[in-house]
């Protein structure tokens, strides 16, 4: 019983962590690509 509840909570926590980190990953990719292209233009 407690193990099943722990598994459900763990799955929910993983899903929440994924949803929370996705926007930050997208922003990091956007800023990272913009900075790399800016540096490429300078060179």
Query: What CA–CA distance (Å, rounded) separates 12 from 14?
Result: 5
**35 or 15: which carries more pLDDT confidence?**
15
* pLDDT value of position 37: 64
Tens digit of pLDDT for each residue in 6-31? 999 999 999 999 999 999 999 998 88
* pLDDT value of position 15: 97
* CA 18 to the chain's CA centroid: 6
* pLDDT value of position 12: 97
Q: Is the pLDDT of residue 40 over 80?
A: no
Query: What CA–CA distance (Å, rounded) separates 2 from 21?
Result: 28
Query: What CA–CA distance (Å, rounded) separates 43 from 41?
Result: 5
* pLDDT value of position 16: 96
């Amino acid at each position: 019983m407690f193990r099943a509840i722990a598994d459900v909570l763990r799955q929910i926590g993983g899903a929440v962590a994924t949803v929370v980190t996705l926007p930050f990953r997208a922003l990091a990719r956007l800023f990272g690509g913009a900075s790399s292209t800016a540096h490429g233009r300078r060179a």
